[in-house]
Structures are given as structure tokens and as C-alpha cells.
Chains A and B, each alone.
Chain A
Amino acid sequence: MKLLEIFRFELAYQSRRLLTWLYFTALVAASFLFVRGNYLADALYADFFLNSPFVIASVTIFCTLFWLVTAAGVAGEIAARDVETGMHPLTWTAPVSKAEHLGGRFLAAYTLNALLLLAVPVGVMLAVYAPGVSAEVVGPFRPAAYLTAYGVLALPNAFIGTAIQFACAALGRRAIGSYLGSVLLLLVAYGGIISVLYFLQRQDIASLLDVFGHIYITSDLVLGWTPIEKSTRLLPVDGVLLRSRLLWLGIAAGTLAFTWARFRFAHHTPRSWLGVMRRRDAHAPTPTSIDAATQPVSVPDVPRTFGPGLYARQTLAIAWASFRVIARSRAGLVVLVVIAALAVRLVPQNLYNMGTPLLPTTAYLLTFLTTPLSNPMTPWVIIPLLIVLWAGELVWREREHGLGEIGDAAPVPEWVGFAGRFLGLALILATWMALLAAAGLLIQLQMGYGDHQPGLFLGVLFGLQLPEYLLFALLALVVHGLVNQKHAGHLAALLAFALIAFAPRLGIRHNLLVYGGSPGWTYSDMRGFGASLGPWAWFKAYWAAWALLLAVLAKVLWMRGKESGLRTRLRLARGRFTRSTAVAAAAAVALILALGGFIFYNTNVLNGYASAFDRKERSAEYERRYARYAHVAQPRLEAANLRVEIYPDRGAAQVEGVYRLVNRGPGAIDSIHVATVPGVETGAITFDRPARPVVQDDEHGHRIYALGRPLRPGDSLRLGFAVKALAHGFRNGGAALTGVAANGTWLNNGDLLPAIGYQFRRELFSPGDRRAHGLPKRPVIPTLADAQDVTGEEGSGGGAERLSVSAVVGTAGGQVAIAPGVLRRSWTEGGRRYFHYATDAPVGGGFGFFSARYAVREERWNGVAIQVFHHPGHTANVGRLLHAARASLQRNSREFGPYPYRYLRLVENPVRRMGAHAEASTIDYGQGFALFNPAEDPRGLDFPFAIIAHEMGHQWSVPYAFAEGAPLLSESFAWYAAMGVVEETYGRAHLRRLLRFFRQPAPIVPIRQSQPLLRARDPYAAYRKGPFALYALSEYLGREREDLAWRRFFEKHRSGTPPATSLDLYRELRAVTPDSLRYLVHDLFAANTFWQLKTERATARRAAGGAWQVTLTVRARKVTVDPAGKETEVPMDEWIPVGVFAPTAGWREDFGETLYLRNHRIRSGRQTITVTVPKKPSDAGIDPYVLLIDLERFDNVEEVEIER
């Protein structure tokens, strides 16, 4: 009864508060914006309904996270209002039990929060049914979808969140405790999930720890469901989701029980942490004499000088006091130290790429330790949340302690109070930076890495990361100062943060419009900060000017005294708008205008600001205007003579060139279509015969020249051109993208030089993009059937171009420039260095120019010069690269045909990632390669070696059609070739380690619903399933036979006319396959087949003569899956290996000594297999090495049970 009354009173009280309704409104707005901002575009693109159960569930989860941090005040206020308002002596002495007191309040808080979360379905429905959504993405209204999301996600999340918030506030006796509870819950939950994922690699435990259903909805659902399922399937309440929900509801209930047990209706005596150690009198002190003031009160008359000196001292005093308050609070230094310690513990677990350990260089660690404020998707999102909390505390501390009136009446200018608090925040943030630097140094020490760069650590953290936070700290302080209601202040400040973080999703992408926004900075060993600091600093200076203006606003509207009415505050503000304030405001406005104008001039005038939509629209317009020329016959580009001038210091490059174009077609050609590169200045184009420009559209990059005299079949034509890539100021996204850097220039011909003919690759290809820009539907990539019709002359071929290049490249003295071909000569002229390269055999259509202060290591192999151009400091893996190149040359030229060039170049490119990329005769690899530390690899796998072997495989590639199945010919083959090299170099066990890594679902996730390999184009098919299939076939056929098929395939298609397709390969594979295995070639390549092989039980028993008889019960099934996800079972009757193994010797290998490994005839369904082995077996199973495509890779082999 009493509980009900408490419940009723609280609910009524809260529903009368404006703040409650503000929370509700904010939640409606958040869910509305999330649906419109995040899913509307996706729904259009990916063919699912905007109001599908999947979208509603996702929005619900996102919004409960939003609710958790913004509306924490609800539970906090209810739990701690009695103490904060001083009502507790009345309520606590009422004859109400603890259970009723807490129970009624908790129920009220939970009910209120549950009601608040009704805002989510309201927001979703608004977003779906309000104007602005095209009817085709709106599905039928399904109450069940909303109810499931609300019941399964929102209600439990509200319970968990409210319980933690309530406990923190009730036990801490402060409403603010609830915010801290939210932050801690996020930290513990997500920190726990991340550490489980990285430490233990246990997806299952991580899913169990999933507090809000976040992992569930973002991994399993998005990846596993088809668009149709996403549109229609309701959220199933079973398995993982149910378990995690129950676990967390249990934790929440436990927290409530703990709260009940610990809560006391008792006066709270503040205790200091040191109090236990310091002995103290038991009584409050009382002065001794009763008539103390017998003499007149006289206070020494000390001089007081009001002026800048005093104000500076006051500011510092307030700053120091503010710093101490935050540092000593529960959400202060302790939390920061814990987070830094977590970073020390967790970051090393992330120092892996593809499972290979990485060196903790300072530059690389900084990528973990820093993040722009606007990125909410890192654990550091906790810092802005804490900043909001801290700002609230600083603004409210005096008033909450009843010192507001005394402090307000002190002769302290408003700006001193504001600046002092801001400096206090700055101090704590600087402390955090110092902690992070210490954490980074500790990580390096504990990993035994010696090349510390404390200057870089401190420079980046204090010079680049701290300003990021300071700008936000100022905003948070201003918001709290202006709002003048603590919880509403939190709400407003968090909303401001959400706006900053989600601005791009709401379509606000210009950094001039998002508070604190700027392009990112980058740092790498080769390029240093390069040109990235300038634009960063301009934008930050612009926002600092805004911050100054905000500070002025805060100064004049700062709450002082008792007048909180808006009108009075505005009147007071007029009085506070003194001369110096006016000067500051004017200076801020002037700076904003000047800096903003300068930035705008750079980003929008010099560089032409284009949103992603604008850029796509340009592609669409290109297609609309010029696609009609796609099939107009064009001459082939067969030779290019280039003079490339690179100016590293100016960030500019210039190319003058002559193309030799040959008409290889049957008819005369009367016009030349030249595709110029938008963003690059292409000058006049000249021909060695009369020609007149018909179309010159450099915005879309298409020119047409009519030839005075048609180019007859077999004739050739010279085309001269000049292009300039100049850095014009900077862009919204950062420094100008010329590819030229002071050290580390990388230019690709496709980004610079004109091309011949209509460029099919510029077309938008995703169905959603095409629909959004009003283009007709077309296959993402030409179908095989279309590709058969295309001939090389039409220029739409992908890898079909072959040309010889002669290039003179000039660069700054001290740098080495690289271009395709053999180095003929190099010389110095006018302080610049020149290099002349000429190809000795045609190269593919793509090639690059590099320039940097490279060091070179060179080796020869059978007349081929192998050179590695690397950053002088990046020597660790150079030997490995050379080894991989040599081993690949050795094996590939033996198996697949001779290497076509007399040189091979490996060039370190300036990109910070680990990827590598192959063009004919040249492989470039990212600077990240220098981080690889395979010697420490716990798997004993030399993955960098395998990557280079893969890129080497590409060197044997032949011109292939840009069509379905192309990845099989490029990427899958390259891995197949690399597997051979790895096995030949390191042995079979090493190859198995590589394959075992390939079977992991990360970083490339298995995709079931797809096309057969002959037509597939997804990354799983290209990089995993394709290589697996090629490898499996080689195990069945014998490696030599399959290599022979490839060799024949390459020989037939080297000319490139017509370009090869996957069907050509399929023909060769079938040709080397005996009839008995034709089914396998079909299953692997012509169907999207998955095997489901499982050993249910394996038993062994002693047989005569010390042998063992092993009996396996296996279950086999084979299915094909179509792109829509439909499964069709295929009957099985085929040869599959069965293996029996002795106990393992080392943990790196799957199995011990092979006791038995032979193919058995396996049918669909369950069957028993009995084999005899000479020694005691340990493991046995079907397809033990998972040759066949089987996504359940752990159930093939079971431990053998020994029967007595």
C-alpha cells in the first residue's frame, strides 16, 4: 500500500516536470533522426523496408544507448532527491520499510523510463509515415515488430539501465551518480566484450556479455540475414539473445538486492579516504571561551588591488580548485587511471593484423590512443561523456553546497569564474593526456620495444588530441552555464555531443558547420604529418574563434545570484556587455569571419566542395551523357612516352606525354574519345593529324575529337597531352589530393593521365546508388554472357590493356623516382634528379610513379633484378620480401610459365596500412608492412611472406574480362599460387596454418548466399572460397595437373584478345580432370556448394596384433545456396578423405601423426566407417583438413573414445 503511494507520488511528480517531457522529445527526435539518417538511404539501396522488424530493433537498441546516457537523471533524481533536497529526515523517519521506500521509487523510475522509451516507436512511426519517404520502402504496418522490439529490447534494457543508475544514485546519495553508473555500465560492458573478443577470442562469451543486444543486432543479424529476411523476419527470442538478456536481468536484480542490503536510513557522515588513518577527536570542536569577542573586531587592513594580476590569480585558484574537485571525485582520476590501465592491458591484444603481431611503434600506438571527438565508435567516447559530467559538477558545485550566494557576491568578474572552471577542465584533460602517454610508453616497455619517441607521443597528445577535447569542454561548460538546470544541462550537452558525432549521418558534412570539426591529421614515418596539419589547424583555429564567442556568451549570461528568469538574465547581460567584452566578441566574430572565409575559399572556391551525393551525381551525369559512346570503336593505347615532373615541396606534379594509338579493329575510326581526370588540369590535346574538338567537358572528364582523316585499320596515331596536378589550398577533407608529398609521392596513371574511350568503371554500380541517381538498373558487373560478346577493342576490358611505357621522371634532389620499366639512365639537372625508365615488355593498363628518399636493396634471380625500395628505417621485413619474391619467381615460372620482365620491383608506398598491391613488374606495399613482426607470431605463420607470394601470383595474370567471375582469375589464383610457394618454401604444416587462418570468419566473413565461383564477385568468394576450391581440387587431382591447367590457360590468353573469362579457366580445369572427378569441378566452381560433414562419434578398440580398430559415425550433406539464400539439398555419393591421428605433439598443429588418411565413398546421411590403424588413435574424422567448403569447421573431427 505504502509502496503504491510512493510509486504514485513519484510518477505524478515526475510527469509534472518539464524535463521529463524534454527527455521524451529528445528520444523521439533521436529515433526519428536515426531512422531517417541511417536507414532511409540503406533501405533504398539494399531493398528492405524502412519499417522492417530489423530496422525497428536496431533503432530501439541505439536509442536505449542514447537513453542510458542522456536520461540517467530520471533514476538519479528519484533515487537521490530526498537527500539532495534535504527532505530525507522527513521521509526516512516515516514508518516505511526500506523495501517499500526503495521499491516504490525504483518501480516509479523503471516505469517512467519504460514510458520514456515509448518515444522510440513513436519516433520510428513518425520517421516512416511523415512526409519525405517514398512509398516503396514502407512495408505493411506490423504491430508485432514494434511490440517485439519494445518488449525484448527496450524493456529489459530499461530495467538493466535503471537498476544500475538507481543503485549508484541511491548508495552514493547523489543524483549525478546515475550518470556515472551509466558510463561505468558502458565501460564495463563494452570493455568486457572487447577484452573477451580479443583476449579469449570467444565470440560466444562476448555475445553473452552483450548488455543491450548490440552485438547481436550488429553482427549476427546484419551479416546473416538476407534483405528479404531483414524486411520480414521478427526478432527471434531464443538462444544467444535470450541468454544474454537473462544474464543481465539477473545482474540488474542482483544490483537492486545489493542496494537494498546496503542502503541505510541513516545520517551520512562524510568520511575522507584518509580518515581511517588519521586519529581524530570524537567530538566536534568547541571554542574554549564564551566571551571571545571582548575586543573590537579588527581585521588587518591589507591592500587589495583589483586588476589583471588579481584576476589571473583568481582564475588560477579556481582552476586548481576545479581540478582537485574533479580529480578527487568518483568519476575523476580513479576512472581515468583505470581506463589508462585497461588500455595498457588491451591495446597489445589489438596489435595484430591478420593474426600477425605488430610492433608497437609510437606512430601506430597513437592511432589507438587518439580519436577525433566526432567519432563515437571508439571506447574513447567515454571522455566526452565524462567532460559533460565534469562540466556539470563545476558549474553546479558552489550552488549545490550552498555557497552560491557567498561566491556570487564576491567581487569576482564572471569571466574569471568561467575561465577558472575551463582551465580546471583543461588541467584534468591534460592529466588524461599524460596518462595516455604513460600508457603508450608502458605498452612499449612491456612488449620490449625500444624505439621510444616520447616527443611524438607528447606532441600528438598535447598538441593535437588535447585541443579536440578542449573545444568540447568549453562547449559543455557554456551549455551547462546557459541552461541553468543541471539535468537539463546534461541532456543539452549530450545532445550537442550527439549532434557533433552523428552530423555526417544527418547529412551535415562540412567541417565549417559541425562544432569542433576538422579534417583529420595523419602521421607516418615516411610522410611525417605532411600537409595534414595545415588544414587541421585552420579549422581548429576557426572553431577556437567560435569557442571564444561562446565564452563571451557564457560570460554575459552566466548565472549569478537568484535571477534565473530569461528576461532578467538578458537585461543583466546587457549590463555585463562591457567595453572589453565587446572587444572580445568583436574579435571573435572577426576571426570567425576571416578564418571561415579563408577556409570556405579553400574548400569551396579553390577546390569546389562536393558532397558524396554530388560526386555520385557527377558519375551519373557522366554515364547519362557519354555511355552512348561505350561501344564506339576506339584505337588501342599501345605506347606511352611520358615526361613526369614531381615537385615534392610544392605538392605538385606535371606530365607531358605522347600516346601511340593503334586501330586494331576492322573499321576506320573517325573520332577519338579521351577521358580526362576530373580535378586534374588537362591542357590541350594534340594529334599528329588534323583534328578538331567536338566535346570538351572537363567537369565530367570527357572530350571528343573528330579526326580530319579517319584512322584506317592497322594505322597508328600520336596523341600529345599535358596534365598538371596542383595543390590548390585545402579541401574539407584535408590537404589537396595530388598524391605528391614532401617525401612519399605516389601517383597512379588512372588518377592523372587521360585514358582512351568511355570509362565503364566510372559508372555507379550499386543498385541503390543507381536508383538514387535515376539510372537504369544494370548488373553490378557485366555478366559472363555479356563478357563473351565484348572484345578487347571496345576498351571496356578490365585488365585488358597492354602497353609499353617510356618515362623520364624528375624529382627533388635526394629522392629516388620510380616508374614502370628498366632504369636506363639517371642524371642530375638544376638540382633535380631525373630517371629514365622504359619497359622491356608491355605492362598492364595500371601503373604508378613513386618518389621518396628511398633506400634500395637489390638481388638477382636468373637474370631478373629484384629491387626493394623502402623507407630507410623500415628494414625489418625487407629480407622477407626478397625471399618471397625469389621463391615465387622460382616456383611460378616453373609451373605457370616464364616471368615476362627482366626486373621486379617492390616499392614501399606511403599508405599507412598493411595492404599490398600488384601491377605488372611492380608490387607496392604499405608502410604498415614495417610493423609486421612475424617472428613473434604465436601461430608460427609467416603471413607477410604469403602476402608477397600472393602479389607475385598476380604477375602471371593475363588480361581478363571485367565481368563476373573475374576475381577467380585474379585474387583466387594469386592465393592458389601463394599456397604453392608457401608449401614449397616452408612445408605442408606451414601451409595448413595459412589455411587454418583463412577458415577463420575474420577478417573476411563467410557469405553463404552467393553465386557459383564462376560468376561470384564477393570478397569471400575472391579471397577465401576461390582459393579453397582451387586448393581442394589440387588435392584431389594432384597439384601438377591443376598447375598445368593454369599454365595452358595463361598461354592461350596472354595476348589479351579476347580477354579471358572464368569460363575459359573452367574449360582448362575440366580438361585436366578425369571423368570420375568432373562432379567435383562442377560443385566447386559451377555451383555454390556447401558441404556439411560431421563426425558424430569416433570409437576405437584394440584389435589383433597391437592394431586399433576405429569406428566413425559420420553425417554428410551437400547443399547449394542461391543468392537469395534458398538452400537446395544435393544427393551425395563421392570420395571424401577420412583420417585418424595420433595425439598432437605441439599445439600449433591440428593433429598428431597421421595414422590413416584415405578417401572413402560417402553418401548423404549418416553412415559408419571402420578402419584399422597401427597405433593408439586420438582424433578421427571426415575431411579432417576441411578441403571441401564446410562452414562448420570444428565438427569434422572428434576425439576418439577408447572402448574397453
Chain B
Amino acid sequence: MELHIRDVSKTYPNGVQALKDVTLTIPAGMYGLLGPNGAGKSTLMRILATLQEPDAGTIRLGDLDVVKQKDAVRRTLGYLPQEFGVYPRVSAEALLGHFALLKGIGDRRARTEVVEALLRQTNLWEVRKQKLGGYSGGMKQRFGVAVALLGNPKLMIVDEPTAGLDPAERVRFLNLLSELGENSVVILSTHIVEDVAELCTRMAIIDRGQILLEAEPLGAMEEMKGRIWRRVIERGALPQVEREHAVVSTKLLGGRTVVHVYADAIPGAGFEPVEPDLEDVYFTAMAGHIGRRRERPEVAA
């Protein structure tokens, strides 16, 4: 099962173009959608989750037309929105059971079985009787995953799941995601590079509604090898370095600035080569040195 997104565009009534001709092919497995805030990730995710209408383009999940055959898509969809709430006065068990029925598990015994399995998987079994109002952020998030997993979805859409989780919760959560079925298309949208690095076999970088890069994280890092250079400079020197070199990222370190520069060869004195990580790939693509922005420099300007 593959998800084919072809030339999808979406413009909001206030004129903001959230998606421009997005074309992606997403195979089964974990797929990362990386981009800064406001890049159009959530719009794309909601369109995939049948909650928004693209202005143009087609989306196919296997044989299904996601835009037209909403009901069929929903039967095989698991969706964890970026923000969601719960009924505070209802227990996890009751609400999950309710959603299980909504997802089509009509048989009561089957429902009980699934609810128990999911609550155990998400480690909420011991607190299943508690009102959701008392849940912490991470527990709520895991509850959301449990809801999304109902009905063994072939398409999982997980929108910024780790935002707001404490480190321990995040680890737990990513572990859970990583174990999701091999047969499903799982799309993880995030602005946290590590999430993708740790989980995804394929990824896309999106900014201002456009896909800048579609790649496998490992391959992309491999390709960048030898092109990222590092130098530690005084803060005041940054403008000059930016003028002279293709700076992809800057970081503060002990009161001084660490710049990463993109260049095919050593750009100058004081620079040292670095082993590129996914963050370098991300920033390089964002800065337009690789990916689609390079092919259309006018956009990068």
C-alpha cells in the first residue's frame, strides 16, 4: 500500500497559500514530514485525514481516492491530531470503547478485547478507570495513539506528536510509534529533527507549502558528507561570515558562535569538516543549497 500525493495545492480564504503543488509518494513504513512552524504540515495532514479539501491535486491511498472516497479512507485511517482534547469526566476505558464503536467495532466482546489490548500497549491499563481530566500530557498523548490505532489502520497520520512531552514521555512515545505495523503507511509530521532521525526510513522537508526535499535520512546524510564545514567565531563576526560563505546554521556555544557552512571544498581557514547529521540536511535544504529551492533559486530569494 502506497500513498500518492500529486500536485496538491491549498490556499486559505485569507490568501495564505498553505500548499503549493505538493507531490509525494509515501510507501509503507514510517515517513517523516519535517518543517518549521507554519510550513503547511498540518494542512497536508488534515487533508490526508479527510478533514480538509485540497483546491487541486489528487491523493490516492492504494486504490482509494482520499478526496472523494472519504468514508472508505476513514475506515482504514488512524489520526492523531496536533491538538486534541478529551472529555474530562469520562474514563479512558469508556471513551476508548466509544471510539472503538465509532471506528466500526460493533461487537461488544471484540471491543472489550481491543480496548484492553490497546490500553495495555499504551501502558494505560492500570489507569483505565480514571477520568481523563486527571491525565498528564503524555498519558493523554498515548491515549490519542490508542484511539488512532483502533481498527488496525493502513494509514496512520501523527501530527506533531512529541510537542509538549517531557523527555521520558517522548522516548516512550517514540518507542510505541516505532513498533507500529510494517504494513501501514505512517506519516509523522514534526519540526523536531531528532524525531525523524530516530524513527523514519523516508522523509520530506516542507517549507512555505513546498516540498524542498524528499529523501531517505541516511542517504541524505551520506550525500552531504564532506560538504558541511564548521567554525567557531566571535559573535560580531557573523555578518561577515554570512556574506562570504553559505551559512546553513548557527548555534551558540559557550558565548561564541558555531557556524555550519555548506561548500563543496574547504571554504577557508578555521573551518573544519563535520560529519553531517540530519539537522544539517534540514538546514541546508531550508537554506536552498540542496533540494527543490536550489533548482528554483528565485523562490529562495
Contact = CB atoms under 8 A, between A and B. Distances in A.
B51 A572 contact: no
Interface string B93-134: 000001101111111001101100110011110110011011
B51 A405 contact: yes
Contact of B101 (A301, A314, A572): A314
B176 A293 contact: yes
B46 A293 contact: no
A413 interface: yes
A270 interface: yes
A310 B87 contact: no
Contact of B98 (A269, A304, A309, A317): A317
Interface in A255-297: 269-270, 272, 284-297
Interface string B136-178: 1001000010011111100000000000000010011001101
Nearest to A571: B53
Contacts of A408: 50-51
Nearest to B180: A297
A403 interface: yes
A303 to B, nearest CB: 7
24 contacts: A272-B89, A285-B139, A287-B172, A290-B168, A291-B172, A292-B122, A294-B175, A296-B179, A297-B179, A299-B152, A304-B104, A305-B104, A310-B106, A314-B102, A314-B106, A317-B101, A401-B87, A401-B88, A405-B84, A406-B79, A409-B79, A411-B77, A565-B13, A572-B53
Nearest to B100: A302
Interface stretch (A22-30, A556-564, A581-589, A931-939): A556-564
A989 to B, nearest CB: 65
A408 to B, nearest CB: 6
A560 B102 CA distance: 15
Given A409-B50, A563-B53, 15 more contacts: A284-B135, A284-B136, A286-B136, A287-B123, A289-B123, A292-B172, A295-B179, A300-B114, A401-B86, A405-B81, A405-B84, A409-B74, A411-B75, A411-B77, A411-B102
10 closest Cβ pairs, A-B complex: A402-B85, A561-B51, A302-B110, A411-B74, A285-B127, A304-B104, A287-B123, A292-B123, A411-B75, A410-B102
A13 interface: no
B86 A270 contact: no
B71 A411 contact: yes
Interface in A560-601: 560-563, 565, 568, 571-572, 575
Contacts of B122: 292
A412 interface: yes
A827 interface: no
Given A295-B179, A306-B75, A411-B74, A403 B136 contact: no
Interface of B: 13, 46, 49-53, 68, 70-71, 74-75, 77, 79-81, 83-89, 98-99, 101-107, 110-111, 113-114, 117-118, 121-124, 126-127, 130-131, 133-136, 139, 144, 147-152, 168, 171-172, 175-176, 178-181
Contacts of A270: 88-89, 131, 133
Interface string A820-862: 0000000000000000000000000000000000000000000
A1174 interface: no
B53 A304 contact: no
A1 to B, nearest CB: 35
Contacts of B80: 406
Contacts of A269: 133
B102 A412 contact: yes
Interface string A391-429: 000000000011101111111110000000000000000
Contacts of B110: 300, 302-303
Given A405-B79, A409-B74, A290 B127 contact: no
Contacts of B151: 304, 411
Contacts of A568: 53
B172 A293 contact: yes
A565 B13 CA distance: 8
Interface string A1163-1191: 00000000000000000000000000000
Given A284-B134, A287-B126, A405-B79, A297 B102 contact: no
A304 B51 contact: no
A300 B179 contact: no
Interface residues on A, range: 35 or more
B50 A297 contact: no
B117 A299 contact: yes
Contact of B175 (A293, A299, A304, A317): A293
A267 B126 CA distance: 27
B101 A575 contact: no
Contacts of B126: 285, 287-288
Contacts of B134: 284-285
Contact of A561 (B46, B111, B171, B180): B46
A119 B79 CA distance: 48
A313 interface: yes
Contacts of A272: 89, 131
Interface string A936-949: 00000000000000
A727 B134 CA distance: 68
A401 B127 CA distance: 21
A323 to B, nearest CB: 14
Given A299-B149, A302-B105, A293 B113 contact: no
Contacts of B171: 290-291
A321 interface: yes
Contacts of B75: 304, 306, 411
B106 A410 contact: no
A830 B175 CA distance: 94
A78 B51 CA distance: 30
Contacts of A297: 121, 149, 176, 179-181
Contacts of A313: 101, 106
A707 B294 CA distance: 113
Contacts of A413: 71
B71 to A, nearest CB: 6
A412 B104 CA distance: 8
B52 A561 contact: yes
B149 A287 contact: no
B52 A562 contact: yes
Contacts of A402: 83-86
Nearest to A568: B53
A403 B85 contact: yes
B92 to A, nearest CB: 10
A415 to B, nearest CB: 12
Central interface residue in A284, A302, A303, by most chain B CB within 10 Å? A302
A575 B68 contact: yes
A813 B53 CA distance: 73
B168 to A, nearest CB: 6
Contacts of B121: 293, 297-299
A575 B71 CA distance: 11
B62 to A, nearest CB: 16
Nearest to A302: B110
A412 B106 CA distance: 12
B105 A407 contact: no
